[in-house]
Every structure is written in C-alpha cells, then in structure tokens.
Amino acid sequence: MNHRLLSVASAIALTIPILAQAMGIQVIIDGKTVVFTDVSQSAWFATHVRTAAEAGIVSGYKDSRGNLTGKYGPANDITIGEALKIAVEGAGYDEDLYASKIQSGFLHWASPYVSVAKGETFLVINQRTRLDKAATRAEVAAIFTSAFHVNMESTQIDTRYDDVSSSTEFAASIESLSRDTVVSGDTDIEGQATGTFRPTDNINRAEVAKIVMQARAKYGTPGLGRLPSEEQGGTENEENIVTYTEDGFSPMILRVKKGDTVIFKNTSNNGLWVASNPHPAHTALVGLDANRTLINGETYMYTFTQIGSWGYHNHLSSQFQGTIVVE
C-alpha cells in the first residue's frame, strides 16, 4: 500500500478521538480532567452539567471498578436515588455525618443520602421508596423543596398549570419551584408556555442538572453546616408532638409559639396524610400538607410561622381532625 495513504489513514485515525472529545465538554472532577463525550458543547444543558460537575454535585457514570466512564447520560431517566444525591449535594449537606448518626435502613449506594432525607424528613423518601425507580417530575420537585427548605406557605395552586391541581401529588412543591423560576412547564416549538407540567412523567438527567444549579442560585446551600435533626435542638420537644392512633389525633388541640415545629407521628396501623383544612383543597394554610401517606412509625414535621388557629385533618380519613393554635 502507498506509504502516503498509510500516513493519511493514521492521521485520520488519530484525529477521530480528538474530534470526539472536542465535541464533548471538559470538566474538572477531583482535580482530574474528564470529558463528557455525550454532552455536546452546544447543548442547552452543557453549562449546567459542567458547573454541577465542577461543584462536586454530579460526576457522571462509573464502571464496576469505580472509574469514571466519561458518560453523563443526559437523556437517561434519573432515578430517585440519583435525584436525591444531586439535591443533597447541591444543598450542601454532609451526608457522611448524617449517615454516622442516622441509619438509613438501605443497602444501596445512595444510603448516606437517605440518612439525610430521614434526618430532614424529606418528602418522597421513606422505607418503601424504590431508589432505582425512575423519578417523576413531581417527585423530583418534592425532593428539591425538601433539600433546599423551600417556603411553600404562600404557594397558590390551580393557577399555573392545567395538569396540576390541589389533588396532584406534591402540587405545592411543583408550584413553589415554578414560582421561584427553578422549574418551568412545557413550551411549544416557539418557546411559548403550553400550560402543562406533566407531573407524572419521568425526568431526565440533563433537566435535573439545570434544576440543581437553578435551586442553588435561588436558595443557596441551606444544608451547609447543618447537623442531623437529633442534634439541632428543639425538634424533639415532646410538648410539640401530635400522635395519630386509630381513634384520631392526640392532643386534638395543641398550642404552640410562632416559629415552633410540630411533629405529627403515625402510631396507628392505618395510613396518615396530614393536611390543612378544608378537605380536600388544603388551602387554609398552604404548605401544611404531607403530600404523601405516612405508615406506622413515620413522622411529618411542619414549622408554624403564622399566628392563628389552624385546623387540619387526615386526608385519607377526613373525619379525624385537629387544631394547632399558634400564639
């Protein structure tokens, strides 16, 4: 074969991987340069992935030996465990500290992040959570409002999206993040809002990279320097615990000070979904809504910052009601 042709072929062979790398983004992870070959430099999410990676929030996929593969998987559905990790890292928690104090109950790579979720009573995460399940858009919203301690008290529901109502799971989380422009709904090809959010659809890894950087820009890092709840003080005040049994809430009327946190604990064999009156709209005190079913032994915490008398009920059995009087 002509030596010139060999030289040209060799040059092309060497150029192909260089071009492939040039098309991807370069990031610095743990002091090493990594190229995400599946994240084009021109992609709308490239900047979000790069900044999230260099902030130590994401690292892309690893092989069986723990080595980075250079793949981020932007179009792949994100799992509950992956979304939890990104939210916890983004908000600045020390997951190892939480894991040393709080048993997650999971044998899973995301176990330390579950410890944070348990210590901070995140929505979505409980002992029945399937960490490897693809997360829905609503579930990711709930994880992020929990991790970043988003104030949901003034959230208006039924005003923004045609497919999000007061009966939508984690509606308050969706609306709160939308209000703060951390997430947005669907748009048409011209970029105009369509009025839909698709709360039960899955969400991909590119979208969540954007969400975490938007959340950090809006809310900062509320988990930075935070200790597990058992060390924070004030949250274990037995006077501010409402238990739920087969007979209802006890005490039925609880008086607290403005700024106090009340712990609602399910000690029954039935499901408990704490929610503000009236049933089923939950609009009297927006934000007072567990947004999920608590099983025996699980708790829901809410900090009361508005003076007044606030009625609540079990959304699953609305005949059982109680009142928190904030003075």
Q: Provide the pLDDT for residue 161.
A: 92
Domain boundary (161, 190, 219) is at 219
Confidence of residue 30 (pLDDT cuts 50, 70, 90): confident
% pLDDT > 70, the chain: 90
Tokens 């991987």 sit on residue: 17
pLDDT value for 18? 47
| CB neighbour class for 199 (10 Å; exposed up to 12, middle 13-18, buried from 19) | buried
8 forms beta bridges with none
Assigned domain for 282 exists: yes
3-state secondary structure of 132: coil
Same domain, 179 and 296: no
The pLDDT of residue 108 is: 93
In this structure, are 215 and 242 located in the same domain? no
CA 260/CA 326 separation, integer angstroms: 9
Q: Flag whether 68 is in a domain.
A: no
Instruction: Give the range of the structural domain holding residue 257, as residue numbers without chain letter.
Output: 233-326
Within 13 Å and on the Cβ side, how many CA atoms surround 25? 26
Residues 29 and 90 in one domain: no
Which of 219, 249, 276 lies at the terminal end of a domain, its last residue? 219
CA dihedral (236, 238, 242, 247) positive or negative: positive
96/201 same-domain check = yes
Long-range CB pairs of 229-237, under 8 A, 24+ apart, other chains included: 229/119, 229/120, 229/121, 230/101, 230/102, 230/119, 231/101, 234/261, 235/261, 235/263, 235/301
Does 193 reside within a domain? yes
Residue 16 inside a domain? The answer is yes
Domain count, the chain: 3
Residues 118 and 205 in one domain: yes
Indicate if 310 and 202 belong to the same structural domain: no
Quickly state the pLDDT bin for 239 (edges 50, 70, 90).
Answer: low
Shared-domain flag, residues 209 and 259:
no
Answer yes or no: do 44 and 96 share one domain: no
Which of 171, 188, 219 represents a domain boundary (last residue)? 219
Cβ neighbours of 106 (radius 10 Å): 18
Looking at the structure, do residues 245 and 193 belong to the same domain, yes or no? no
Q: Is 105 among the domain residues?
A: yes
Q: Is residue 62 in a domain?
A: no
Q: Is residue 14 part of a domain?
A: yes
pTM of the model: 0.67
Pair 164, 193 in one domain: yes
Give the integer Cα–Cα distance in Å for 266 and 137. 27
The CATH number covering residue 301 comes to: 2.60.40.420
* 85 & 208 share domain: yes
User: What are the tokens at 29?
Assistant: 């992870």
In angstroms, the CA 270 to CA 246 distance is: 7
| pLDDT tens per residue, range 81-118 | 999 999 999 999 999 999 998 888 888 999 999 999 98
Q: How confident is the model at residue 208 (pLDDT cuts 50, 70, 90)?
A: very high
> What digits encode the pLDDT tens for the residues 185-204?
898 888 888 999 999 999 99
- Separation between Cα atoms, residue 175 and residue 170, nearest integer Å: 9
In a domain, 74, yes or no: no
- Shared domain check, 193 and 106: yes
